[in-house]
Amino acid sequence: MSKSKGTEKRPLVERIAEMAMRLGRQYLADYGATRSRHDFTQWQLMTCLILRVYLKTTHRGVLDLLAATPPLRERMELSEKLPHFTTLQKFSTRSQVLEIAQKLVAEIGQQAVAQAPGQPELAMDATGLARTTVSDYFESRRGRKFRRWVKVAVVILAGSLLPVALAIDLKPTHDCAQARWLLKQTQAVVKPAKLYADAGYDAEWIHEHCREQWGVESVIPAVPRRADGTGGGK
């Protein structure tokens, strides 16, 4: 992201899209197949996925934003014609897409860290995203269990909300299940001044990692683990 005055005045989401487009060209061919319709490049589709994670929205949500924001479409070299949400879904399931997305996220984080003064504070969190438009309520009324969803876990720079690490799972898991991989990715990008997380990440090994590997404080609400209501551990 440039430090020029014109760049700084642009919305952050536009600057993220511009950076994702630039980095995507380094890792992706223009098109996935020689016989494809060549309507959209792979790096345009990857940028849509990066924005989806950043905005914590759905495939439809990203496309609705693009439809309503001409300057953002311009940054992504898109006309008024946009990909269908199923195109994004199919692209996201291709092999190595997650690995490429993780590399892009790491480079975005490194560039953001390089431009920030001092050591940044980080925050770690996870959320579940629906893979279909069918609501939990509708599925429950039909007597079915809702299973089609994606768990997205990220580490972000506090303040700018730019990601530095990304993990995705297709099944319900405890937040700590992705934490080890998130911390490993983060350690390759930046040494934080402090790490914030919610109670889902209250595990002794996470606190130890922050103290022993980074020498920083971990701010995570303690979960009572004893009969008397105390937390235990250090």
Claim to verify: residue 131 and residue 90 sit in the same structural domain: no
Answer yes or no: is 194 within a domain: yes
Answer yes or no: is 173 within a domain: yes
pTM: 0.60
Claim to verify: residue 21 and residue 69 sit in the same structural domain: yes
Which H helix or E strand runs over 113? helix 97-115
Q: Final residue of a domain: which of 61, 94, 127?
A: 94
Residue 205 tokens read as 């090994």
Residue 105 has pLDDT above 80, yes or no: no
Answer yes or no: is 102 within a domain: no
Q: Bridge-partner residues for 154, per DSSP?
A: 125, 166
Which H helix or E strand runs over 169? strand 163-169
**Where residue 197 sits, what CATH number does that domain have?**
3.30.420.10
Answer yes or no: is 224 within a domain: no
Residue 51 tokens read as 């924005």
Q: How far is CA 127 from the centre of its chain?
A: 10
Q: Bridge-partner residues for 122, per DSSP?
A: 157, 195
Q: State the Cα angle at 78 between 75 and 82, rounded to 5°.
A: 130
Cα(126)–Cα(53) distance, rounded to whole angstroms? Answer: 11
Cα(23)–Cα(186) distance, rounded to whole angstroms? Answer: 19
Q: Quote the pLDDT of residue 64.
A: 94
Q: Quote the pLDDT of residue 195.
A: 94
pLDDT band at 1 (very low <50, low <70, confident <90, very high): very low
Cα(149)–Cα(24) distance, rounded to whole angstroms? Answer: 26
Q: Bridge-partner residues for 157, per DSSP?
A: 122
Residue 85 tokens read as 């949400």
Claim to verify: residue 145 and residue 205 sit in the same structural domain: yes
Domain that holds residue 80: 5-94
Answer yes or no: is 107 within a domain: no
Highest mean pLDDT, choosing among 31-35, 52-56, 187-191, 216-220: 216-220
DSSP state letter for 185 = H
Answer yes or no: is 108 within a domain: no
Answer yes or no: is 110 within a domain: no
Angstrom CA distances, 67 to 29, 78, 83, 187, stand at 25, 10, 11, 37
Residue range 180-196, pLDDT digits in tens: 989 988 888 888 889 99
Domain count of the fold of the chain = 2
Residue range 127-180, pLDDT digits in tens: 877 666 566 656 666 666 655 677 888 898 887 777 888 888 877 788 888 899
Answer yes or no: is 33 within a domain: yes
Q: Final residue of a domain: which of 44, 63, 94?
A: 94
Claim to verify: residue 138 and residue 213 sit in the same structural domain: yes
pLDDT band at 57 (very low <50, low <70, confident <90, very high): confident
Q: Final residue of a domain: which of 94, 129, 150?
A: 94
Claim to verify: residue 62 and residue 27 sit in the same structural domain: yes
On average, the pLDDT of the chain sits at: 81
| Residue where the block lists tokens 């070299």 | 77
